[in-house]
Amino acid sequence: MNITNPMNDPKKKPLIDSLLGEKDESIKYNIAKQNNYLTRVIAFITCFVEIGFTLWFFSQYGVFPTYDRHVFVTEVMCLSISIISVFAFIFLKVVFNKIQNNIWLHNEVIAIYMFILVLFGILLSAIYKQRDENTFVLVLFLICSFGVVIIRPVRLFLSSALVLVVYILTYWNFGVLRISHSLNIIEIIFYLNIIALVRYYTTCGFLDTTQKLSGYSAVLERLSFTDELTAINNRNALRKNWESFNGRILSVIVLDIDDFKHYNDTYGHLTGDKVIKEVASLMSHEFGADDCYRMGGDEFMIITEYVDEEAEARIRDVMEQAKNIVDEGELMGVTLSVGAIKVHCKNAGDLREYMKRADVVLYDVKENGKNNYRYVNLVD
């Protein structure tokens, strides 16, 4: 009979990896942000609660009464934990926007603060136990430390073991260690560990899924608004950017590759694709990729703030460089026909009309022999 090692069970690996595997920086950063916020809430509440207890003790017993050692120690501890909570709150508030620069230091500060809270709970509970009073304060701080802050499993187990050791030694030293109470504390810590593990697992899973979905969304957006062949904008991107052209003086430029069918028929579609990509690259270099659009086939559009002589100079540069496009050592001699107009976009609907007018200019260039451009100023 073959016995399978649970660590090698493929069904268990995802859980083991999620709990013990190394997380990427984005997950660590997001967990650190959550812990920062949660710890600040705990520090804020702790500060006000302990100040309240301190003031109550002052009103009942005076300021640091030396005649009652238990009350004196309790007052000092409550005041001290209030001050520590204030400093923890301020530190975490200051570093909130700088966590990514030093996640390790941020996590260590939170771990130290949480250990101080639990230590405070253990000491105060031991004092109350000596006076035969309730010890709920330890349970409350255990819940704050293990049930609220998101802790990695290994650190969770080590912290739990350390807390149990400190608890046993402290209660034993105070002479109040009882088996029944110790079992209750162990039981509470055990269930808090289960809760903490579930929260860590689900939080990491949620962050990992969110990160993947964000990546998929970015890919889908890029595919939706980017031409697959040339990597410049497509028609969808033009529609998305439409509103941004309002109120601007622009050059609307339409461009065709002359006799493009010749390249496909003579050299094949791979050469035709290369010609299209090279022309798109030249346009992107001269006008910027964000302003260039492939409308389909060998038709392109440029909507740019370059106007008049600057726009014409860049159009001529693209046309001259296109003539030098080479495929497998053979000069393609690519020529372009360009129609361009200078316009003042006053309304969102204007651009559609301007595109038609630029097409008319392009048609005129083609009718007069191609391999040329014409630039028309329509601005009053």
Closest CA to 310 of 256, 250, 364: 250
Closest CA to 19 of 250, 183, 195, 204: 204
Q: How many CA atoms lie within 13 A of 163 on its CB side?
A: 32
Q: Which two tokens stand for residue 41?
A: 């809430």
| Residues 208 and 342 reside in one and the same domain | no
In a domain, 10, yes or no: no
pLDDT score at 135? 66
- Is the residue at 285 inside a domain? yes
Judgement on whether residues 163 and 278 belong to the same structural domain of the protein: no
Q: Could you give phi then psi for residue 328, rounded to 5 degrees? A: 50, 45
For strands 292-296 and 299-304, give the pairing: antiparallel
Please give the average per-residue pLDDT across 55-71, as a whole number.
81
User: What per-residue confidence (pLDDT) applies to 2?
Assistant: 45
- Quick count: other Cβ atoms within 10 Å of Cβ 247? 9
Mean pLDDT of 46-55: 90
Q: Is residue 227 part of a domain?
A: no
User: Is 80 exceeded by the pLDDT of residue 12?
Assistant: no
User: Do 206 and 241 belong together in one domain?
Assistant: no
On whether both 185 and 239 belong to a single domain, the answer is: no
The residues pairing with 251 across neighbouring beta strands, listed in sequence order, are 304, 342
Question: Is residue 160 located within the same domain as residue 245?
Answer: no
In one-letter notation, the amino acid at residue 344 is H
Per-residue pLDDT at 258 exceeds 80: yes
Dmax over CA atoms of the chain, in Å, equals: 109
SS3 9: coil
Do residues 212 and 248 both lie within one domain?
no
Instruction: Say if residue 91 is in the same domain as residue 162.
Output: yes
Last residue of a domain, one of 160, 193, 218: 218
Number of domains in the chain: 2
Separation of alpha carbons 130 and 170, rounded Å: 12
Percent residues over pLDDT 70 in the chain: 93
Q: And the tokens for 238?
A: 């033009």
Is 239 domain-assigned?
A: yes
- C-alpha distances in Å from residue 214, one per residue of 31, 32, 208, 226, 327: 17, 20, 10, 18, 39
Residues 187, 108, single domain; the answer is yes
Q: What is the pTM of this model?
A: 0.59
Residue 49 sits in the same domain as residue 187 = yes
Question: Distance between CA atoms of 375 and 373, rounded to whole angstroms?
Answer: 7
Domain range spanning residue 52?
Answer: 21-218
26 close to 211: Cβ distance less than 8 angstroms = yes
Band of pLDDT at residue 17, cut at 50, 70 and 90: low
Q: Using CA atoms, how far apart are residues 333 and 273, in angstroms rounded to an integer?
A: 15
The H or E element spanning position 299 is: strand 299-304
Query: What distance, in Å, lies between the first and last C-alpha atoms of the chain?
Result: 91
How far is residue 186's CA from residue 230's CA, in Å, rounded to a whole number?
Answer: 64
Are 238 and 301 contacting, i.e. CB atoms less than 8 angstroms apart? yes
The Cα–Cα gap between 298 and 100 comes to 46
Do 260 and 213 lie in one domain? The reply is: no
Kindly report, residue by residue over 333-359, the tens digit of the pLDDT.
Answer: 899 999 999 999 888 678 888 999 999
Quick: pLDDT tens for 189-245.
999 999 988 888 888 888 888 877 777 776 776 778 888 899 899 988 988 888 888
What backbone phi and psi angles, to 5 degrees, belong to 331? -70, 125
Task: Please indicate, yes or no, if residue 137 is contained in any of the structural domains.
Answer: yes
Rounded percentage of the chain residues whose pLDDT exceeds 90: 44
- Lowest-confidence pick of 205-219, 239-253, 285-299, 325-339: 205-219
pLDDT band at 38 (very low <50, low <70, confident <90, very high): very high
| Domain boundary, last residue among 189, 218, 247 | 218
Q: Is the dihedral of CA 215, 219, 224, 226 positive or negative?
A: positive
| CA distances to 32, 346, 356 from 243, in Å | 39, 10, 18
Pairing of strands 336-344, 292-296: unpaired
Do 164 and 256 belong to one domain? Answer: no
Distance CA 53, CA 60 (A): 10
